[in-house]
Structure 1
């Protein structure tokens, strides 16, 4: 796998690890309120839902890390594709900034993966 592909995929992975921390640990804190534009009463009421959402983001990060560790390009393409689609959905239903936080980095990593080949 090409160095650029690995670097971009690692960035996507780290973004999702950070999202896990925000959603599972910091949702009901000033940092979480600021990151997601939440009012404290709403954050408190939705804390459990956010933790569940964070868990799913953790699975995406774990999948990317696993694919990189195994040097498994098809698996990496799958998990990056999942991130890109999740980002599109989030941008359409929640906040346009999700497009730039999730979809753009995942798409850049996917493009690098395809430009530099898909060794199995």
Structure 2
């Protein structure tokens, strides 16, 4: 179960790294605008805000990766719960305030991952 949980944590980290790239470096590009369903005007107007959000996604990525390389199993377990929990919180908040799609893309996979991490820790 631990290997499956770690694979899911790694996938969450990869997803958020991709979001970081979109938000920090591709926000105004066609791919960035398509991913976030924005007009060129809105993308330009919100570019600085998006880069800031991308930085926060980078912090989540760093924490998730840290949880995977941490040698102390109990501390790694705690890190996984904390950082996956942060992703759940962000996904649910985004789902409530911006778009249900955020909850589905970020929140649901993170909830599944959280459960897998809990089961692996038992």
TM-score tier by shorter-chain length is: over 0.9
Q: Paired residue for 1:48?
A: 48
- How is 1:28-107 mapped onto 2 (pairs within 5 angstroms)? 28-71=28-71, 72-107=76-111
Structure (1/2) with the larger helix percentage: 2
CA apart distance, 1:100: 1.5
CA apart distance, 1:116: 1.9
CA apart distance, 1:115: 1.1
CA RMSD of aligned residues (A): 1.1
Q: State TM-score, norm by structure 1.
A: 0.94
Is residue 87–residue 102 contact of structure 1 (8 Å, CA) maintained in 2? Answer: yes
Gaps of 5+ in 1: none
Q: State TM-score, norm by structure 2.
A: 0.93
State the alpha-carbon separation in 1 of the partners of residues 70 and 91 from structure 2: 25
Structure 1's consecutive aligned runs of 4 or more residues displaced over 2 angstroms after TM superposition are none
Count residues in correspondence.
Answer: 118
State the alpha-carbon separation in 1 of the partners of residues 70 and 119 from structure 2: 20
State the alpha-carbon separation in 2 of the partners of residues 64 and 98 from structure 1: 19
CA apart distance, 1:117: 1.5
Is residue 28–residue 40 contact of structure 1 (8 Å, CA) maintained in 2? Answer: yes
Relative contact order higher in (CA < 8 Å, ≥ 6 apart): 1
- Secondary structure of the structure 1 residue equivalent to 2:85: helix
